Amino acid sequence: MDSTTSTPRACPAPRDRRRSGKLHRRLVAGLVLLIGLLSTGGLYLVFAPRPQIATAQPASAQADPALIDKGEQLYDSACITCHGTNLQGVQGRAPSLIGVGAAAVYFQVSTGRMPLAREQPEGLRKAPLPELNPDTAAGRQNLQALSAYVQAHGGGPQLPTERGTALVGDDPAAGSDSFRLNCASCHSFVGRGGALTRGQYAPILNQATPEQIYAAMLTGPAAMPTFSDRSLTPGEKKDIIAYILSVRGQRNSPGGYNLGDIGPSAEGMTAFVLGMVALVGITVWLGAKS
Ligand code: HEC
Ligand code: HEC
């Protein structure tokens, strides 16, 4: 073994010199490996699609003091126990609502995710509270008040003033492209949903209303990234909504078995982890051989 070892300095070194040369090379190999791993991670960070901070919009006509007062009452009765007296959040119970914006309130409350019931898993859609149901006139008003109250604390993303069909674009084909680029990795190509890492699940998109889809994009609930108006213009968001509405009920896998809808995100992660382990293994093996 020792006879095949040649130190880079190529001097007739005594045994301990040679040993330290070997150690030196091991260290260099380790360092190269570390740099490789770090730069891979760095490149991933640079090139991975990054959620952008939603553009905070100025509080608009909603900032009517009476509306905010009404919103405060609703907040105090339904949300305060978890989100705190000043919306600052409660450690171990719920996050701060400062700066989450009216759109987040609309999304969370109208989809029944909030107020979170004690036994309810987070992020599960259910019927909204009757008094906060946007399908009734009173519910719409209450929801608007609650949203205005939260909006008055730190601003944040707001839905456009249009509602219903005005939020549905007229180019579902363009929406299809944007959807494939931005959403399909989690929600599958036709919005059937799919499993993500860490036990998260991207839900099926067959129930969300245009307002809720728009609000989801603006606010990025849970593991979902935020799509600000810079990353997806309002027009692109509307076309995506048009696409989602157009494929509702369509089968996911015209090509055959659907692999359990695991989804490319989870599959890609698995491939990445396995590939990384294999690469590290090979590198270590090569290092040990030389
Ligand atoms: C039982 C506790 C509980 C109650 C009551 C509750 N929430 Fe929440 N809320 C949570 C938790 C926990 C989360 C984090 C959920 C997640 O990450 O998926 C959350 C998240 C949110 C978010 C998303 C915050 C963000 O960063 O995007 C909003 C908005 C919200 N809640 C609004 C409300 C409103 C409005 C009410 C009252 C109608 C309410 N919540 C009542 C526990 C609660
Ligand atoms: C990184 C994965 C991921 C990406 C990418 C993603 N989402 Fe999501 N989406 C989620 C998760 C996770 C949830 C569930 C959030 C929760 O639990 O509160 C969700 C929830 C939703 C909901 C709410 C569904 C309902 O019925 O309550 C809508 C609508 C939605 N996403 C639309 C989109 C659109 C449109 C895009 C692309 C512009 C997109 N998502 C991109 C992960 C993702």
**pLDDT digits 0-9 by tens, 260-288:** 445 556 667 778 889 999 999 999 999 99
Please compute, for residue 148, the number of CA atoms within 13 A of its CA located in the half-sphere on the CB side: 21
Q: What percent of the chain has pLDDT over 90?
A: 53
Looking at ligand 2, which residue's alpha carbon is closest to its atom 12? 202
d(CA 209, CA 207): 6
Q: Which CATH number fits the domain that encloses residue 96? A: 1.10.760.10
| CA distances from residue 276 to 32, 41, 96, 243 in whole angstroms, order as listed | 15, 11, 37, 36
For the question of whether the overall pTM of this predicted structure is more than 0.85, the answer is no
| Structure-model confidence comparison of residues 145 and 123, the more confident one | 145
| 219 Cα to the center of ligand 2, angstroms | 10
d(CA 56, CA 79): 23
Query: Do residue 153 and residue 178 come from a single domain?
Result: no
Query: Do residue 146 and residue 191 come from a single domain?
Result: no
Which residues does 261 contact at the CB level (< 8 Å), separation at least 6?
A: 188, 192, 193, 194, 195, 252
Task: Count the Cβ atoms, other than its own, within 10 Å of residue 98.
Answer: 17
| 108 Cα to the center of ligand 1, angstroms | 7
Given a cut of 70, whether residue 16 has pLDDT beyond it is no
d(CA 58, CA 101): 10
Residues of the domain holding 110: 58-158
Mean pLDDT, the chain, whole residue set: 82
| 204 Cα to the center of ligand 2, angstroms | 9
Counted domains in the chain:
2
Of 158, 187, 214, which residue constitutes the final position of a domain? 158
